[in-house]
Amino acid sequence: MKTDARSERLGKEPIIPLVLKLSLPGILAMTAQSLYSIIDSIFIGQYSTEAISSLALFFPLEMILIGISVGTGVGATSLISRLLGADDLEDASQAGSQALFLAALASLMLTVVGFFFTPNLVSLFAEDEVLIAKASSYSRIVLTCSYSFFLPIISNHVLRGEGNTFLPMLNIFWGAGINIILDPLMIFGIGFFPEMGLQGAALATVIARSLSGVMIIYLIVGDKIELNISLKHFSLRLDLIREIYRVGFPAMIMQFMASFMLGGMNRILAQFSSEAIAVGGIYFRLQSFVLMPIFGIKQGYLPLIGYNYSHNKPGRVKKGLFSNVLFAFLITTSGMLIFQFAPEKLLRLFSSDPELINIGVTALRNISPAYPIIGPAIIISATFQAIGRGVPSLIQSFFRQMVLLLPLMYFLGSFWGLSYLWYAFPISELGNIIIALPWLYFTLKKELNDPSQNPIQATHASKKTKKAESLE
Contacts 24+ apart (CB under 8 A), 220-223: 220/96, 220/100, 220/155, 220/158, 220/159
**Residue 62 to residue 146: CA distance in whole angstroms:** 10
Other C-beta atoms lying within 10 Å of the C-beta of residue 438: 10
| Residue 7 binned pLDDT confidence (cut-offs 50, 70, 90) | low
One-letter amino acid for residue 113 of the chain: V
**Residue 360 to residue 272: CA distance in whole angstroms:** 13
| pLDDT for the residue numbered 470 | 47
| pLDDT for the residue numbered 452 | 55
The per-residue pLDDT for range 409-422, each reduced to its tens digit, is 999 999 999 999 99
| pLDDT for the residue numbered 456 | 53
| pLDDT for the residue numbered 450 | 63
Mean pLDDT of all residues in 109-130? 85
Is the CB of residue 19 less than 8 Å from the CB of residue 327?
A: yes
**Residue 449 to residue 441: CA distance in whole angstroms:** 12
152: pLDDT strictly greater than 50? yes
Closest by CA to 105, choosing from 130, 72, 62, 78, is 72
Mean pLDDT of all residues in 307-331? 85
The per-residue pLDDT for range 236-266, each reduced to its tens digit, is 889 899 988 887 887 788 788 888 888 889 8
Is the CB of residue 227 less than 8 Å from the CB of residue 158?
A: yes
| pLDDT for the residue numbered 2 | 44
Which residue has better confidence, 465 or 337?
Answer: 337
| pLDDT for the residue numbered 222 | 67
Is the CB of residue 44 less than 8 Å from the CB of residue 125?
A: no
Closest by CA to 303, choosing from 31, 36, 13, 2, is 13
Is the CB of residue 429 less than 8 Å from the CB of residue 374?
A: yes
Which residue has better confidence, 460 or 423?
Answer: 423
- pLDDT over 70 for what percent of the chain? 92
Of 48-52, 77-81, 335-339, 343-347, the least confident: 48-52
DSSP calls for 47-102 = H-HHHHHHHHHHHHHHHHHHHHHHHHHHHHHHHHHHHHHTT-HHHHHHHHHHHHHH
At residue 239, φ and ψ (nearest 5 deg) are -65, -40
Those residues with Cβ within 8 angstroms of residue 69's Cβ, 6 or more apart along the chain or in another chain: 103, 106, 149, 150, 153, 154
The per-residue pLDDT for range 171-198, each reduced to its tens digit, is 888 888 898 899 999 999 998 889 998 8
**Residue 66 to residue 210: CA distance in whole angstroms:** 15
| Residue 332 binned pLDDT confidence (cut-offs 50, 70, 90) | very high
**Residue 416 to residue 80: CA distance in whole angstroms:** 49
**Residue 99 to residue 105: CA distance in whole angstroms:** 10
Number of helices and strands in the chain (H, E): 19, 0
Which residue has better confidence, 101 or 306?
Answer: 101
| pLDDT for the residue numbered 414 | 93
110: pLDDT strictly greater than 70? yes
86: pLDDT strictly greater than 80? no
Is the CB of residue 91 less than 8 Å from the CB of residue 172?
A: no
Of 60-74, 92-106, 360-374, 439-453, the least confident: 439-453
The per-residue pLDDT for range 451-465, each reduced to its tens digit, is 555 555 555 555 555
To the nearest whole number, what is the mean pLDDT of the chain? 83
Closest by CA to 269, choosing from 128, 149, 389, 173, is 128
297: pLDDT strictly greater than 90? no
| pLDDT for the residue numbered 160 | 78
The per-residue pLDDT for range 126-151, each reduced to its tens digit, is 777 888 888 888 889 999 998 888 88
The per-residue pLDDT for range 342-393, each reduced to its tens digit, is 999 999 988 888 999 999 999 999 999 999 999 999 999 888 878 877 678 7
